[in-house]
Amino acid sequence: MNDQRLPTGSFQSRAFTSAEDRVGFIPQIPEITKDLRSLVLELTPEQLDTPYRQGGWTPKQVIHHMADNDMNAYIRFKRALTEDVPLAGSYREDLWAELSDYRDLPVEDSILFLEALHYRFVILLNGLQPDDFQRKLQTQVLGEITLDTALQRLIWHNRHHMAQISHLLGRDRVDSYKGGF
């Protein structure tokens, strides 16, 4: 693992996403919480509060961040489906990670939140038409992207953070989190 900050590498979207690709992407979403819960079961309370790298977040902060990020992604997705190229608002994730809920909330609460959110996300995605995935949103980091790219980014983002947590355990699970991206 050469770069502990980006253990799965930088995000690279597929230039063209087919309906078959989406059929492979969408079922990966509920697997995120299953894999995350399995990973967390291996962590001691001390490990949950130990940064995965020098200057990095703790697994507890990472897990709460994953819930916040996916909540924001879901809202951005719905806005892109109902508005013309909306500006996807950003948030100060570094400051959010310092708030009391990141410190005091058990990680299981965020995993349960992710499960419910991912359930809704999958229902939403499965109800879309192929053309819906070509709708766009404007982001500060990636510029104008399609919902196809946003879907890929959602999955990559979660795998990227699970690989960071895995690093704390001394395991190299990076390949299992890349999933074809």
- Quote the pLDDT of residue 167: 81
pLDDT tens digits for range 43-67 = 999 999 999 878 889 999 999 999 9
Fill in the amino acid letter for 112: L
- Could you tell me the pLDDT band of residue 6, with boundaries at 50, 70 and 90? low
Q: Which residues of 138-153 are buried (b: 16+ CB within 10 A; e: fewer)?
A: ebeeeeebbbbbbbbb
Three-class secondary structure assignment of the chain: CCCCCCCCCCCCCCCCCCHHHHHHHCCHHHHHHHHHHHHHHCCCHHHHCCCCCCCCCCHHHHHHHHHHHHHHHHHHHHHHHHCCCCECCCCCHHHHCCCHHHHHCCHHHHHHHHHHHHHHHHHHHHCCCHHHHHCEEEECCCEEEEHHHHHHHHHHHHHHHHHHHHHHCCCCCHHHHHCCC
CA angle 30, 35, 40 (to 5 degrees): 130
Say if residue 3's pLDDT is above 80: no
Q: Is the pLDDT of residue 111 over 80?
A: yes
Res 96: pLDDT: 96
- Residue 181 predicted with pLDDT over 80: no
Out of 27-36, 77-86, 98-107, 162-171, least confident range? 162-171
Distance CA 25, CA 68 (A): 21
State yes or no: pLDDT of 132 exceeds 70.
Answer: yes
Residue 177 pLDDT more than 50?
no
Distances (CA, A) of 159 to 6, 62, 73, 137: 10, 12, 15, 22
Which of these, 179, 180, 181, lies nearest to 32 by C-alpha position? 179
pLDDT value of position 1: 40
Of 20, 37, 107, 33, the C-alpha closest to 65 is: 107
